[in-house]
């Protein structure tokens, strides 16, 4: 028997839950569902991300909705469009066998006219971001005067994002007699203010310790020099074959830079931030959910509402400004009973933040050492062997080819074959980590000068191998849709030269800069001749630069523009 039946849910909902494989309610669902079904109540629910809050308020809200009445009866407010879409999708799946129920997600970045068209047909439950909903209310396109239930989902985040005025405006259009439910991972001062302002004698339910971190998440930190943060990130990822992670950055700019560096260095990564269109965001998330994308580099705002249950790691490239933000980030992993790890990459000056977070989440961080090149290579090799062991052999396809292959390899003994197999897969990887420096910092080593990032910039452009890099400037950038992988593909597509070592790539709004092996300068200049990107003719310039230990009075690189210009 489905344990949800004991909570008072009707047969239509139980049928839908059974098909979804939901048999055992979570603690927050056990507390909230019977309470909402029993009597009208204002409620503050404190529970970590990933504990089943959507079903906790969504299931009783569906059951309490009168489907024969086409007026809007339920309103759920979410901080971001990702969370808005996810909640609406969850409610629709719960209500698959409930006849006549219509749920609509209202959020910015999608067509307002399409949303208005659906509203005209009658929608009983609206899931919305405050900005778009307030806009449609002001235009007279939404009627929420008959709302009986209002839910604030991730209330603390809505306030941190500055939605206070929109919330005030929206709630003035709802009736005085209604039930207000507030769900949050943390009980901040702002959340208390919402409860005091909009709720009447609310019942407070706390699942787990107040403001505590998720139970299934281990917390680790790595201490490095700030300039080696990216190098540490790569080693942490390389040391975990099968890593499936969100990497959190503070700003859109940093998110783009880290994602572009990872792509340039051969990692399966992409960025998610507020500057992307809704179609671009949807495409990135589709790839990430299907695991064709391994690393998602995101800002806090963009990552809200991501319902990915099997993340192995959350990596804090930089810690958030507010300790509560760490709780939300770490809650992205360790969901649905799975174990997860939340990692922070810090420098010495940020140690106080770790102590603050420990106090807030009531858990201790484990200090870990950034792994050495040798450790990483061993881990990667073992991971590859595990993959090889699990490969299913299709004998029907292989057998006709086997005799010819065996003959070509018959003069190799077993040991030689294994070594050649490892070399084929790992030569570049082993070479990159051959002289990898120790990145770890302690109080005693903090004042010592650490290794320069440029010397170990990655397998795609390792300047530690003695290669000389030429620097090129192009007159196209993000505005023309330029991406690092596109430039790399263009260069590596040059016929007759094989793979060309590529260094740093920096793409701005209207321009791009890239470094590549200087030996192939003529071929690279020729490759961009007569090129046209999104209607713009490309021009490329060769910049001749020299690096100095002593900075110029303006700092950084001294470069001279060589008078070589190729225009299409």
- The rounded percent of the chain whose pLDDT value lies above 90 is 31
Residue spans of the domains in the chain: they are: 3-206, 217-372, 375-433, 467-567
Tell me the pairing of strands 74-77 and 149-153.
parallel
Using only C-alpha atoms, the chain has a radius of gyration, in whole angstroms, of 28
Q: Which of 159-163, 287-291, 416-420 has the lowest mean pLDDT?
A: 159-163
For β-strands 313-316 and 245-248, DSSP reports them as: parallel
* pLDDT for position 180: 93
Least confident of 75-79, 201-205, 219-223, 325-329: 325-329
For residue 450, give both structure tokens: 């650490």
**In this predicted model, what pLDDT tens digit does every residue of 406-442 receive, in sequence order?**
898 888 888 988 888 877 777 777 777 877 888 998 7
Residue with tokens 């800069």: 513
In angstroms, the CA 470 to CA 214 distance is 49
Contact (CB, 8 A) for 565 and 541: yes
211: left (phi over 0), alpha (psi -120 to 50) or beta: left
Give the three-state DSSP class for 487: helix
Answer yes or no: same fold for 217-372 and 467-567: no
What pLDDT score was predicted for residue 457?
36
Structure tokens belonging to residue 458? 């990655």
Of 70-79, 224-233, 271-280, the one with minimum mean pLDDT is 271-280
Instruction: Give me the mean pLDDT over the 438-447 stretch.
Output: 68
Q: How far apart are the C-alpha atoms of 453 and 504, rounded to whole Å?
A: 11
Is a pLDDT exceeding 60 seen at residue 559? no
**Segment 283-292 mean pLDDT:** 86
CB atoms within 10 A of CB 271: 26
- Could you name the CATH architecture of 3-206? 3-Layer(aba) Sandwich (3.40)
Mean pLDDT is lowest, of 52-61, 202-211, 270-279, for 202-211
pLDDT of amino acid 498: 67
For the residues 202-225, what does the mean pLDDT come to? Answer: 77
Is residue 332 predicted with pLDDT exceeding 60? yes
Q: Which has more pLDDT, 553 or 449?
A: 449
What is the structure's pLDDT at 566?
35
Cα–Cα distance for residue pair 139/127, rounded to 1 Å: 18
How many angstroms separate the Cα of 364 from the Cα of each of 199, 341, 354, 454?
35, 13, 9, 34
CA distance 73 to 149: 7
Mean pLDDT for 170-197 is 83
Average pLDDT, the chain: 82
Lowest-pLDDT range, 225-234, 507-516, 522-531? 522-531
Band (pLDDT 50/70/90 cuts) for residue 164 is confident
Quickly name the fold that domain 467-567 has. Alpha-Beta Plaits (3.30.70)
Q: Which strands form 313-316's sheet, in the order they lie side by side?
A: 269-272, 295-298, 245-248, 313-316, 340-346, 217-223, 366-367
How many CB atoms are closer than 10 A to CB 366? Answer: 10
Look at 48-57, 147-156, 495-504 and tell me which has the smallest mean pLDDT: 495-504
> Is 314 in contact with 248 (CB distance < 8 Å)?
yes
CATH of domain 217-372: 3.40.50.300
- Model confidence at 223, pLDDT cuts 50, 70, 90, reads very high
Coil, strand, or helix at residue 295?
A: strand
Query: 0.85 cut: is pTM over it?
Result: no
Q: Per mean pLDDT, which of 223-227, 337-341, 558-562 is the most reliable?
A: 223-227
What is the secondary structure of 112-177 as a DSSP string?
Answer: HHHHHHHHHH--SEEEE-HHHHHHHHHTT----TT--EEEEETHHHHHHTT-HHHHHHHHTTS-SS
Q: How many helices (H) and strands (E) does the chain have?
A: 20, 21
pLDDT for the residue numbered 555: 31
User: Is the pLDDT at 542 greater than 70, yes or no?
Assistant: yes
């Amino acid at each position: 028997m489905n344990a949800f039946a004991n909570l008072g849910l009707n047969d239509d909902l139980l049928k839908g839950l059974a098909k979804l494989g939901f048999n055992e309610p979570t603690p927050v669902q056990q507390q909230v569902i019977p309470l909402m079904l029993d009597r009208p109540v204002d409620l503050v629910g404190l529970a970590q991300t990933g504990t089943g809050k959507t079903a906790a308020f969504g299931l009783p809200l569906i059951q309490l909705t009168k489907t024969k009445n086409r007026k809007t009866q339920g309103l759920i407010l979410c901080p971001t469009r990702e969370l808005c879409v996810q909640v609406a999708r969850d409610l629709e799946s719960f209500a698959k066998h409930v006849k006549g129920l219509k749920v609509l997600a209202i959020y910015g970045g999608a067509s307002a006219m399409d949303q208005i068209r659906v509203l005209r047909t009658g929608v009983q439950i609206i899931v919305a971001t405050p900005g778009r909903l307030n806009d449609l209310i002001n235009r007279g396109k939404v009627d929420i005067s008959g709302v009986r239930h209002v839910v604030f989902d991730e209330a603390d985040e809505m306030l941190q994002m500055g939605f206070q005025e929109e919330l005030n405006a929206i709630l003035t259009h709802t009736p005085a007699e209604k039930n207000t439910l507030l769900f949050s991972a943390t009980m901040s001062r702002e959340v208390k203010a919402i409860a005091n302002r909009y709720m009447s004698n609310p019942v407070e339910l706390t699942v787990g310790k107040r403001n505590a971190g998720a139970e299934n998440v281990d917390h680790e930190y790595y201490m490095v020099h700030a300039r080696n943060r990216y190098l540490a990130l790569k080693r942490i990822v390389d040391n975990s074959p099968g890593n499936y992670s969100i990497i959190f950055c503070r700003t859109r700019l940093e998110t783009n830079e880290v994602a572009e560096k990872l792509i340039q260095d051969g990692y399966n990564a992409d960025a998610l931030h507020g500057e992307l269109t809704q179609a671009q965001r949807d495409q990135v998330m589709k790839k990430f959910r299907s695991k064709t994308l391994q690393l998602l580099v995101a800002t806090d705002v963009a990552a809200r509402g991501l319902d990915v249950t099997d993340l192995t790691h959350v990596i804090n490239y930089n810690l958030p400004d507010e300790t509560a933000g760490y709780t939300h980030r770490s809650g992205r992993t360790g969901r649905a009973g799975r174990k997860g790890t939340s990692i922070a990459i810090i420098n010495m000056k940020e140690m106080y933040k770790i102590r603050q977070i420990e106090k807030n989440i009531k858990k201790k961080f484990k200090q870990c050492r950034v792994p050495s090149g040798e450790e990483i290579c061993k881990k990667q090799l073992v991971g590859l062997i595990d993959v090889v062991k699990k490969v299913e052999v299709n004998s029907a396809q292989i057998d006709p080819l086997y005799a010819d292959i065996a003959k070509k390899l018959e003069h190799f003994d077993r040991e030689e074959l294994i070594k050649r197999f490892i070399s084929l897969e790992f030569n570049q990887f082993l070479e990159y980590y051959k002289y990898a420096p120790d990145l770890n910092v302690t109080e005693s080593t903090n004042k010592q000068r650490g290794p320069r990032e440029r010397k170990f910039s990655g397998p795609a452009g390792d300047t530690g191998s003695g290669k000389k890099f030429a620097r090129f400037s192009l007159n196209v950038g993000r505005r023309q849709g330029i991406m690092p992988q596109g430039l790399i593909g263009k260069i590596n597509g040059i016929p007759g030269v094989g793979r060309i070592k590529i260094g740093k790539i920096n793409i701005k709004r209207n321009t791009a800069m890239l470094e590549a092996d200087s030996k192939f300068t003529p071929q690279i200049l020729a490759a961009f001749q007569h090129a046209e990107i999104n209607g713009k003719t490309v021009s490329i310039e060769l910049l001749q630069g020299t690096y100095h230990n002593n900075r110029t009075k303006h700092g950084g690189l001294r470069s001279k523009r060589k008078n070589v210009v190729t225009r299409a």
